[in-house]
Amino acid sequence: MIKNAGNNLSIIRKHPLELIEKKVIEWSCIAFAAFGILTNSWWMLSSIEKSGVFLAFTLFIIFLSKPLKFKQKNLHYLDWFLAILGIIVGFYTTFTAKQFAINMLAAETRDYIMAGIAFFLVLEAARRTLGIWMVVIPSFFALYALLGHLIPGPLGHYGFTLKRFLLRMYLVDEGIYGITTQIASSYIFLFILFGSLLAESGVGEFFTDLANKIAGASAGGPAKVATISSGLMGTISGSAAANVATTGAFTIPMMKKIGFNPEFAGAVEAVASTGGMVMPPIMGAAAFIMAQYLGTSYNTIMIAALVPAILYYVSVFSWVHFYARKHNIYGLKRSEIPPIENFTRKLTLLLPLGVIIWALFSGYTPIYAAFYGMIATVIAAIIQKKKFTLANLTNGLRDGAFSSINAIIACIAAGIIVGVSAMTGIGQVITYNIVGLAGNNLFFALLLTACASLILSMGLPATACYIVVGTIVAPALVKMGAIPLAAHMFVFYFSCLSNITPPVAIACYTAAGIANAKPFGVAWKSVLIAAPGFLIPFLFTYNPVLLCAKGCISFFFLLSVFTALIGVVFMAIAGTGYFIKTISPIPRLLFFAGSILLIFPGLQTDIIGFIVIVVASLPQIRVHTKSRSLKD
């Protein structure tokens, strides 16, 4: 099979077909990247024609790179058979889409056969790539569409015949070829290619070196380096696990070396890397889908995510600082921090990010922004590297195409859920029932939504989790008073936090492997460190000014940001049990209560929270001042 650590592709199969498969997969990925670039620029195809080819490439690469095993034997020939079937069902759509439309959607027997095969292949590919739950949930929705007439009560419906279901899922631009696949084959694919090219240029090492220079020598230096470098990497990578693999390979051993225990070191890296999914300009794949759902520009999503992302990283940084001070963990010696060679020249690596931001805010679509970013990346790499060859370019495109497979198959499989929701109207029914269950109370509805996101995230990746909950539940939040942007951002945040939420916490598992720690130990410490992150979605839902949704340059906006920042810092103090010195349980509880009051909006709660924190702080400051005067 293929193992993807960061953006590096390596074959670890041991079989006579190994060399053939290796070359086939590598060249398929390069061809996939070339096709994606061409069809999103000069070669115009209809959405369903393009999606058909994307389906073909995705299925072909998955079935060869994720082999089927039975009693420790790889069934290579069955893998090849399924891979070729994947090509057939994908290209079948591409070659017949126009004629099918001309015939007024009059399907024949072979069309239904192809639809059935495609449905099976998508679920099997999702199982191999994403796990069994990405088969169970779409299958459940499919059964709901077919057997709805047997369901009593408000969840029942008239039901759909198998032929009509297959037609809607495969032969038109719904279901498998619906909006989620269309977004995956454009914005998501291109930005993953951009991130891969940028990684090939050496930007990851530069971010780590830069973070080392900024914070490496301070208390708990390597943990702060992990926070900063993961945040910087988050601006170009929408994958928490890839972020951990990239920066964690360097920061986790350094954290352990200066005294952090393995679980805490892994947790810091996992939490910081998860924050990269909500860090503009390039966020998780679900952010592009959110923009499409809301009918707004990606710029709006980026601006909305900025303040919550800052709050998230300030809380992580504060937690690391106070934990290190409490346990007397010092940073690296200045002599241990290597200098950044050719610093001025390496600054050109920031050029692609600047180009992306400029293009998006100049009114260009994300597709154009991604193209300009890739061109700027090649230019920057040539400037800062003495030898940036064609091989570097093809490696970046190859690894980018392979890295996109998980996101694409998640979107394709989730398209079944979205398609069934549109066919049956189950979203409106669930929205109505959530409103009734919550008693038309927004806070209880938010709790239900958060629980639904975390439960679904046990079996679904963040993108698929957002699609399901955003499609079905977010409308209920809007109906109870949340603005649409806040409602969808709420779901998006909790879908991203699934990367550190037990029992399925993929970022924690990746970090635990590097730290040689227990995955559950890393996961529970991650939840503790990220505690303010679980409150931030409630904060911006009740106070959407933090999303810059109602004007950002105002006194109320500045006050809200200021009090929220103080709140997340003092929540870290309460969590670590250290301020100026180690604090006892009562001041710790007071700091926690004050931080909660400051985080949530309202002048009255801000004043009370500020008073509580001052009352809890004065004895600490007085004792510290007295001890210093005695030393003097």
Would the pLDDT of 3 be above 70? no
Query: pLDDT tens-digit profile of 456-489?
Result: 766 567 777 888 888 878 888 888 888 999 999 9
At 36 the pLDDT is 92
Where is mean pLDDT largest: 8-17, 462-471, 605-614?
Answer: 605-614
At 5 the pLDDT is 40
Query: pLDDT tens-digit profile of 121-146?
Result: 999 999 988 888 888 888 988 999 99
Mean pLDDT, range 576-580, rounded to an integer = 85
Would the pLDDT of 56 be above 90? yes
Would the pLDDT of 445 be above 90? no
Would the pLDDT of 429 be above 80? no
Would the pLDDT of 13 be above 50? no
Q: Is this structure's pTM higher than 0.95?
A: no
Would the pLDDT of 262 be above 70? yes
At 204 the pLDDT is 64
Would the pLDDT of 208 be above 70? no
Query: pLDDT tens-digit profile of 529-558?
Result: 888 888 889 988 988 888 886 555 677 888
What proportion of the chain, given as a percentage, has pLDDT over 70? Answer: 82
Range of lowest pLDDT (350-354, 516-520, 619-623)? 619-623
Pairing of strands 8-11, 69-70: unpaired
How does the average pLDDT of the chain come out, rounded?
A: 81
Q: Are 318 and 569 spatial neighbours (Cβ–Cβ below 8 Å)? A: yes
Neighbours of 103 (CB within 10 A): 11
Would the pLDDT of 630 be above 70? no
CA distance 465 to 328: 40
At 299 the pLDDT is 85
Mean pLDDT, range 318-338, rounded to an integer = 75
At 7 the pLDDT is 42
At 222 the pLDDT is 63
Domain ranges of the chain: 553-632
CA distance 372 to 359: 8
Mean pLDDT, range 212-224, rounded to an integer = 63
Would the pLDDT of 559 be above 80? yes
Confidence label for 11 from pLDDT (cuts 50, 70 and 90): very low
Would the pLDDT of 236 be above 70? no
At 235 the pLDDT is 61
Mean pLDDT, range 254-262, rounded to an integer = 79
Question: What is residue 577's three-state secondary structure?
Answer: coil
Phi, psi (degrees; rounded to nearest 5) at 598: -75, -35
Would the pLDDT of 59 be above 90? yes
At 611 the pLDDT is 92
How far lies 477's CA from each of 188, 293, 300, 541, in Å?
A: 27, 15, 20, 10
One-character DSSP codes across 375-413:
HHHHHHHHHH-S---HHHHHHHHHHHHHHTHHHHHHHHH
Would the pLDDT of 227 be above 50? yes
Mean pLDDT, range 263-272, rounded to an integer = 86
Would the pLDDT of 14 be above 60? no
Length of the chain: 632
Would the pLDDT of 347 be above 50? yes
At 439 the pLDDT is 74
Would the pLDDT of 26 be above 80? yes
Neighbours of 222 (CB within 10 A): 31
Would the pLDDT of 60 be above 70? yes
How far lies 254's CA from each of 248, 250, 275, 415, 519, in Å?
A: 9, 7, 21, 42, 19
Q: How far apart are the first and last CA of the chain?
A: 66
Mean pLDDT, range 334-348, rounded to an integer = 65
More confident residue, 510 or 168: 168
More confident residue, 575 or 14: 575
Where is mean pLDDT largest: 293-307, 335-349, 425-439, 500-514?
Answer: 293-307
CA dihedral angle for residue 153, residue 157, residue 159, residue 165, rounded to 10 degrees: -130
Query: pLDDT tens-digit profile of 152-182?
Result: 877 788 888 999 899 889 988 888 998 888 8
